Amino acid sequence: MTESRSETLTLQSLRQARIRLQNRIRTTPLIASRSISDVTEANVRLKAEHLQRTGSFKIRGAFNRLLTFDRTRVQGVVAASSGNHGQAVAYAARALGLQATIILPHGANRLKVRSTQDFGARIEYAGTTSADRLARALTLADDLHPLVAPYDDYAVMAGQGTIGLEILEQWPEVEVVLVPIGGGGLISGIATAIKSSAPHVRVIGVEPEGAAKVSASLAAGHRVTLESTISVADGLKALTPGELTWPLIERLVDAVVTVSDQAIVEATRLLAERTKQVVEPSGATALAYALAPDHPLQGLNVVAVLSGGNIDWSSLLSALGE
């Protein structure tokens, strides 16, 4: 199956991705929690992408992109990742008979490293930032070993956007969708799905205070590159919005807000205690906004996307002070 690279992201490309991904991914549930709804004073449901194959939403975009390559020509793939994207590319590559090379940061989440290796990938380490990893990946990529971008690729965004299609089908009464923001691929895909089909539904992006690249870019009126980022949410620490994701965020997303690491950790803890769901800090970030003491979404039908569940327990316990 081949496809020329799309020049944009559309509802049609999302629908095509959904067909392509049949039998490759899980349709994840919307989990209702009375206790979470009581705390937020909203009617909250949780889009459980932490229960997705490889433990995060990333498998959607990775598989969608790999399935567009000409597998009679492509010999392998290369990806740069903080962890979840690398796992997803490794899993999809193995399923399609391709060798994956994944560039991870020094100090990467140990669970994510082990899982990526278990899926048969070759691992390299490069620096500590997304720019470091991408620079190394670009030196390895060529026509026979294409780069699979973590977010700045329309086919990847289309795969992630299938989450938005599922949300609208599972709960047509939804009024607000909360989405965590790293480089912007997840929110670009979901916002395209939501605004193309139900433009009255608000899409709110949530990013850590220590990695607020989209908030800074919106304030400046153009893409901003941060000098550094720091957060317990290791999957959301991109230094800048993607070149392709940025205009989609600017045009389609209703608001972008920030939350503290303390709020993210408390959301992670609450999910475990009240709903018995194991969600990594990056995956709990969207919910952290709904849990704010001023009840910003009071009385509304809200979906919070729980984007992943691959926890490095030692790091989380350190953040919890335990």
Catalytic residues, which ones?
58, 307
| Two tokens, residue 319 | 């953040």
**Angstrom distance (rounded) from CA 235 to CA 49:** 14
* Closest alpha carbon to 146 in 154, 138, 158: 138
Tell how strand 122-125 and strand 176-180 pair up: unpaired
Q: Which of 78, 59, 76, 72 is CA-nearest to residue 20?
A: 59
What is the residue type of 238?
A
Contacts of 137 (CB under 8 A, 6+ apart): 78, 79, 80, 103, 126, 147
- What lies within 8 Å, CB to CB, of 303 at 6+ separation is 30, 44, 45, 46, 47, 167, 171, 174, 176, 177, 178
Q: Which two tokens stand for residue 181?
A: 């923001």
Could you tell me where the DSSP H helices lie in 151-280? 154-170, 185-197, 213-220, 245-252, 261-270
Produce one character per residue of 71-93: b if its CB has 16 or more CB atoms within 10 Å, e if not: eeebebbbbbbbbbbbbbbbbbb
Q: List, in order, residues 6 or more apart from 133 with CB less than 8 Å away.
A: 80, 81, 82, 103, 104, 105, 126, 127
Residues 105 and 155: their CA atoms lie apart, in Å, by 24
Contact 284, 274 (CB under 8 A): no
